[in-house]
Amino acid sequence: MRNIIKLSVTLAVVGIISAALLTGVYNVTAPIIAERQEAEYRQALELYFPGFASYDSEEIGDDYFDLIYDGSDELIGIMGTIEQQGYDGTITYNLAMDDSGSIIGVRVVSHSETPGIGDVITTEVFQEQFFGKNYEDPIVAGDDVNAITGATVSSSAMINSIRRVSGVVAENFLGVESVAIDISEVPDGTYQGSAPGLGGELTVEVEVSDGVIVSIEVIEHNETPTYFIEAYPFIPEQIIAEQHFDIDTQTGATISSEAIIEAVQNALREALGIEVGEEPEEEPVDINISEIPDGIYVGSGEGFYGPITVEVEVAGGQIVSIVITGQDETPEYFRESNPLIPERIIEEQSLDIDTSTGATFSAKGIVQAVLNALDSESGGED
Amino acid sequence: MKATSPYMQDLTRGIIKENPVFIALLGMCPTLGVTAFIVNGVGMGLAATAVLIASNLVISLLRNFIPPQVRIPCFIVIIATFVTIIEMVLQAFQPVLYEALGVFVPLIVVNCIILGRAEAFASKRPVIRSLLDGIGMGIGFTLALFILAAVREILGHGTILGPDPDSAIHLFGANFEPMALFAQPAGAFIALGLLLAIVNLLFKRFNIN
Amino acid sequence: MEKLLSIIFIYIFVENFVLQRFFGICPFLGVSRKMETAIGMSMAVVFVMTIATLVTWLLYNFILVPFNLTYLQIVTFILVIASLVQLVEIVLRKISPTLYQGLGIFLPLITTNCAVMAVALLAVRQEFSLLEAVVFAIAASIGFSLALIIMAGIRERLELAKMPDVLQGSAVTLVTAGILSLAFLGFKGMLTL
């Protein structure tokens, strides 16, 4: 009996000392931890909003937004904290926008994308393409921004999420009226609309009868079949059942699901005569090759990892050869654009060519380099 | 070797001859789990070392007060206390490392090295020797993690001092295409397996036993 | 229901505890030499992991959280697991001596199996509901068993294979585990929660 008491007392003493010690350490470290997390966030805010003095938090759906004010209580920008499903778990990121809704910063807080593949979403090259874009821009992969080859799921998830968030911000904070779709006003008929999915454009055909959506069919898509099965026909069925678009996309195929919803919305918007986000004008590439004197010109353009330099030979008003003299691109990807892109330029005798290869960044870099060579004739005639 | 004092032996035993990872194959979970980057590997090594030294010290001090019947629960509570302290300290002062190590920080509590040394050594030896043993084993563990992490980071990412882009040094230039396998779980197993084979080979060559 | 099924698939294949998350490596290397012991260990782990997760989840959400004591998580969880293992051992010996003979020797080893602690910690960190936490524990332990039993099957044949003696034992086991892990990498990204 005495033994049992002794054992229990020993255990109890050890337990109590341990609990007391931990409570002490906890009381010391807890405020430091809270302070540091706050300080870290403030530091990020200061980076994007140099004049900021205070902020207000607001929650919209699953997203958190901080409205940033300067010393005189003027709204100077908005910082969103967004969670988005990536390839392998949740990506949490901050999206910083100025008071006009233009994106000024993307900061990936945490992610678990595959190292060496999906983690390109943390690179500057990927993030910079969003800067200056706002809710009026399409923000569509392959249009005004590019997904990253080999990491399509991770990068498309980010692109589509940023597009969605910039819309949310415009609607809720910037007083941009979203033109709501009133299904009951849509005249009977069959309409087509499309939206970017994971693998490219996804097109749907929507039939409306008596102000009610009666059928939705996906007539064209390039989604991964295994994912697409999860979204179709599940998503259309839900839209038809509920007759609105605020439906649960928590399937294994969020991107495809959202693309279907957006495509249906676009179809109906067109039916109602509401303007769908305008196509961006491609910068005109105008160089009159026939006026360039014979010679060899050098120029450089920006690739994915650094400058691409080219040597362009012009003879008789024609580009006769394009030699790439320097580049830092990833070998596998670069192989896709070289020699394909120089060949296309020579064949068409124009820089307005299709750059959609498996390596869009490198391809555009080459075109830019050739343009740069021919544009600046003083650039280096041998 | 004859001339060395028992103190010296206590200190050096854990570093090579009885290295907890390469020889005793203990603490494999953190060894494999956090060694994608050198910073994380060494951070985990040092955190475990701190717990090991503290628990060896306290257990050795209390060895005459704790009845043998309840020694294991007592050891566990002592170790868990130090692990919690380390966790809170990391969270407060090394947040980046704390995030990177994730659930492996609380899992130090089930690291077999620590309970193993408490049971086999510290509960039977005087304070100084237990302390030296803890330091030696800790260095051995950290060293093993460093070697594995160096192999994996250099081959798997082509960097040292990553993943923070501000401190990362790209050893082979920015366009080096790393062997992503070594950054993956599969690469951890393969790299450690091959390291063990090399250690076996070296031990055989130099007749260490 | 959909979430429960995803949890099951994810933690058996996609996020296999041993091959992708590195939990429970010590028993994975230690008792995978023979198929018989591997099966015994697997059953013991499924048993203890499920009960441990159930108990720690209740403890965390009904005692630690309400009293603002979450910083005692590690101490309480490890104590619960250690006492649970003891309790299971005693009960098993009384109730089913045959089962005890099969599982008994593995029970003490489980206390320091980090997979058990990991599943208890992750169930709380991922904010699972009670049902989800238990399903998660079962799936994780089945994933552990799957890896252990596959490995035991390979190692029984490996014993007979000729190889350089420096590779024998743990070295070749780890490389084999690496190749297995590579195979499981094929499940990656198939499902996320």
User: What are the residue boundaries of the structural domains of chain B, listed by start?
Assistant: 6-142
A122 lies within 8 A of chain C by CB: no
What is the reported pLDDT for A319?
Answer: 86
Record: fold of A183-271 = Sufe protein. Chain: A (3.90.1010)
Render pLDDT for A19-76 as a digit per residue (tens, 0 to 9): 888 889 988 888 888 888 788 888 888 888 887 888 888 888 888 888 888 888 888 8
Query: Could you tell me what percent of chain A has a pLDDT over 70?
Result: 86
Q: What is the pLDDT of residue A259?
A: 82
pLDDT surpasses 60 at B130: yes
Q: Cα separations (Å) of C151 from A43, A381, C160?
A: 49, 67, 15
What are the sequence ranges of the domains in chain A?
1-48, 49-173, 183-271, 289-381
Question: Tokens at residue C89, please?
Answer: 């051992």
8-state DSSP, A145? B
d(CA B188, CA B193) in angstroms, rounded, equals 8
Q: How confident is the model at residue B73 (pLDDT cuts 50, 70, 90)?
A: confident
Mean pLDDT of A90-116: 82
User: How far does chain B reach from its first CA to its final CA, in angstroms?
Assistant: 13
- Minimum-distance CB partner of A29 among B73, B78, B89: B89
Confidence of residue A143 (pLDDT cuts 50, 70, 90): confident
What's the gap in Å between the CA of B186 and the closest CA on chain C?
4
Instruction: Judge whether C29 is closer than 8 Å to chain B, CB to CB.
Output: yes
Task: Supply the pLDDT for residue C178.
Answer: 94
Comparison of pLDDT for B138 and A300, the residue scoring more: B138
- In percent, how much of chain A has pLDDT > 90? 0
Q: What is the DSSP string of B38-100?
A: HHHHHHHHHHHHHHHHHHHHHHHHTTTTS-GGGHHHHHHHHHHHHHHHHHHHHHHH-HHHHHH
Mean of pLDDT over chain A: 79
CA distance B22 to chain C (A): 10
Across the interface, whether the CB atoms of C75 and A26 are under 8 A apart is answered: no
> Does pLDDT of A178 surpass 60?
no
In 3D space, the residue among B147, B137, B130 whose CA is nearest the CA of residue B57 turns out to be B130
In CATH, A289-381 is 3.40.980.10: no
Q: Which of B159-163, B179-183, C137-141 has the highest mean pLDDT?
A: C137-141
Interchain contact, C189 vs A252, CB within 8 Å: no
Interface predicted TM-score (ipTM) of this complex, two decimals = 0.88
Residue A280: what pLDDT?
42
The residue in chain A having the minimum alpha-carbon distance to the alpha carbon of residue C193 is A89
DSSP string, C43-110: HHHHHHHHHHHHHHHHHIIIIITTTT-GGGHHHHHHHHHHHHHHHHHHHHHHH-HHHHHHHGGGHHHH
CA B130/CA B14 separation, integer angstroms: 12
Residue that wins the pLDDT comparison between A22 and A328: A22
Helix (H) or strand (E) holding A68: strand A63-70
- pLDDT in the model for residue A177: 60
How far apart are the C-alpha atoms of A140 and A160, rounded to whole Å?
Answer: 7
| Least Cα separation, residue B199 to chain C (angstroms) | 8
Sign for the CA dihedral angle at C135, C137, C140, C143 comes to negative
Q: Six-digit token pair at B181?
A: 């396998």
CB contact under 8 A, A26 and C6: no
Å between B181 CA and nearest CA of chain A = 9
Which residues in chain B are closer than 8 Å to C71, comparing Cβ atoms? 84, 88
A279, pLDDT greater than 70 = no
Q: Is the pLDDT confidence value at A295 over 60?
A: yes
**CB-CB neighbors (< 8 A) of C114 in chain B:** 29, 107, 110-111
A210 C-beta neighbours (distance < 10 Å), count: 8
* pLDDT attached to residue A147: 81
What is residue C132's predicted lDDT score, i.e. its pLDDT? 93
Distance CA(B132)–CA(B175), nearest Å, equals 46
* Average pLDDT value for chain C: 88
What does the alpha-carbon distance between residue A106 and residue A81 come to, in Å, rounded to a whole number?
10
Residue A343 in this model has a pLDDT that exceeds 60:
yes
For C147-168, the pLDDT digits (tens) are 999 999 999 888 888 888 888 8
State whether B185 and C22 contact (CB < 8 Å).
yes
Q: Is the pLDDT of residue A317 over 50?
A: yes
Say if CB C32 and CB C152 are below 8 A apart: yes
Question: Partners of A54 in the beta sheet?
Answer: A69
Greater confidence, A345 or A377?
A345
Q: Does the pLDDT value for residue A113 go beyond 90?
A: no
**Cβ contact A253:A228 at 8 Å:** yes
pLDDT above 70: residue A276: no
Does A183-271 match A289-381 in CATH topology?
Answer: yes
